Chains A and B, each alone.
Chain A
Amino acid sequence: DIQMTQSPSSLSASVGDRITITCRASRGIGNYLAWFQQTPGKAPKSLIYAASSLQSGVPPRFSGSASGTDFTLTISSLQPEDFATYYCQQYNDYPLTFGGGTKVEIK
């Protein structure tokens, strides 16, 4: 199985901050990488696919990038609604696997 290692597991930040979350795949996944956002009590929401393509309706302050087996999600200027848990997921091979999540909290 492909292991997805996400870091950090949590971070504290302020409104307006720029933050970066990292996800590392245990082997090459050809940029078949997605990011999701989940707020408490709600279903996950799809943010990014193909490592860097924004889903329709997602604000441009969200961006994704890839370098080999390392992937990053960047939020350029945190907004109050961005405090949530973020997950990466690979869809290159079965079983589809998720990272452990990164909880973004208000400082």
Chain B
Amino acid sequence: EVQLVESGGGLVQPGGSLRLSCAVSGFTFSDHYMDWVRQAPGKGLEWVGRSRHKGYSYTTEYAASVKGRFTISRDDSENSLYLQMNSLKTEDTAVYYCIRDAPDRDGYYFDYWGRGTLVTVSS
């Protein structure tokens, strides 16, 4: 069974940092692209960023709203995905979801979602 379990959320002050983790099981993590998506309270879904697998040198993509502040990394030996969030702003308050991707022609779609972890940025 595919499982993705996020952790590391919590309350942080504006300007602070937080590191989210996503522990996966039930599939070969190293074979998959992975994404982070967030959802502010009462709002829609917003893509945060993507990690490609080793075959693409673990390269990453980011939304403009987080580029330069957030960093996605992964440890294939630990079956874990990470989201390092620096210089946090109140507008980063959201539930953060970890997502497994699957290939579709030249693209990658989301197929499994974690349950999410809440990040609250407030003084």
Which of B44, B104, B114, B116 is within 8 Å of A87, CB to CB? B44
B-facing residues in A75-107 (Cβ within 8 Å): 87, 89, 91-92, 94-101
B113:A55 contact, CB within 8 angstroms:
no
B107:A91 contact, CB within 8 angstroms:
yes
Q: Is A61 an interface residue (CB 8 A)?
A: no
The size of the chain A interface, using a CB distance under 8 A, is: 25
Which of A43, A50, A95, A99 is within 8 Å of B104, CB to CB? A50
Bound form: Cα–Cα A92–B105 in Å: 10
Which of B44, B97, B109 is within 8 Å of A34, CB to CB? B109
Interface set of B (CB-CB < 8 Å, partner A): 35, 44-47, 50, 61, 63-64, 97, 102, 104-105, 107-116
Across chains A and B, the number of contacting residue pairs, with CB separation under 8 Å, is 62
Tell me the dominant secondary structure on chain A's binding face.
Answer: loop
Tell me the dominant secondary structure on chain B's binding face.
Answer: strand
Chain B proximity of A56: nearest CB distance (Å): 8
B111:A55 contact, CB within 8 angstroms:
yes
B109:A49 contact, CB within 8 angstroms:
yes
Chain A proximity of B41: nearest CB distance (Å): 12
Please, which residue of chain A has its CB at the minimum distance from the CB of B114? A43
Please, which residue of chain A has its CB at the minimum distance from the CB of B116? A43
